[in-house]
Amino acid sequence: MALLINKEKKEFLILYAIVGVIVVIAYFYLILKPQVVGLISSFSQSGKLKKELSDTITQIKAMDGLKKQLDGFKSTQEYQEKKLPMEKEIPALLEGLSQTAKARGVKIVSIKPLEPQAVSIDNKPAVYTAVPIDVTVRCGYHELGYFINNLEDAERFMKIEEITVEADSNNPRIHNIKILVYSYILQEK
């Protein structure tokens, strides 16, 4: 009988061991494995999100620099547009030319705008127009030099194309001077 009890006990213990192993295996496959896989997937997604966040922060910082660069371009454009007046501003341009001459002791005999010439580059539509201005003045060499310097440093872009100097037989210090000045204006958009 003792042998029978031991045999029943052994079978009972084996049954408990088998049930325990089945419970452990079921726990691993049904509960623990999905959680481990989910955790590994979360770590992978976390790494990707950290990289995306880092890239986004870098782009935001770059965007600030780009905004500053855009502001710089806008101010440069405004400056350049001031140097190239619109067609309606030609009278003001001529008045500025006259005031510059007066400030340097140059007597203007005549200022005559000539026929404007559209300027196109590389067969593209003209963006600006060249306006030749025939200016006749009376002054000395030094005054002429200051006048030309002021024209070059003027707010508006001007180019001196031609200068003709003739001596005045009545006054050797004063000369009759013809200057062909080109100013440039923006085309109307």
Specify the pLDDT at position 83.
61
Percent of the chain with pLDDT over 70: 90
Distant-in-sequence, close-in-space partners of 177: CB < 8 Å, separation ≥ 6: 136, 137, 138, 139, 144, 163, 164, 165, 166
Report the C-alpha gap between 100 and 11 in whole angstroms: 119
Q: Is the same domain home to 58 and 115?
A: no
Average pLDDT, the chain: 83
Q: Is the same domain home to 37 and 49?
A: yes
Q: What mean pLDDT do residues 126-144 have? A: 88
Among 61-70, 73-82, 103-112, 147-156, the range scoring the smallest mean pLDDT is 73-82
Here the contacts of 78-81 (C-beta below 8 Å, separation 24 or greater) are: 81/186
What amino acid is encoded at 130 in this protein? A
Q: Is the same domain home to 170 and 101?
A: yes
Distant-in-sequence, close-in-space partners of 157: CB < 8 Å, separation ≥ 6: 83, 84, 183, 184
Q: Is the same domain home to 91 and 166?
A: yes
- In this prediction the pTM is 0.55
Specify the pLDDT at position 73.
80
- The pLDDT confidence band at residue 80, using thresholds 50, 70 and 90, is low
Work out the number of other CB atoms within 10 angstroms of the CB of residue 176. Answer: 14
Q: Is the same domain home to 78 and 1?
A: yes
Q: Is the same domain home to 148 and 98?
A: yes
Q: pLDDT: is 106 or 16 the higher one?
A: 106
Number of domains in the chain: 2
- Given 66, 83, 100, which residue is the final one in a domain? 83
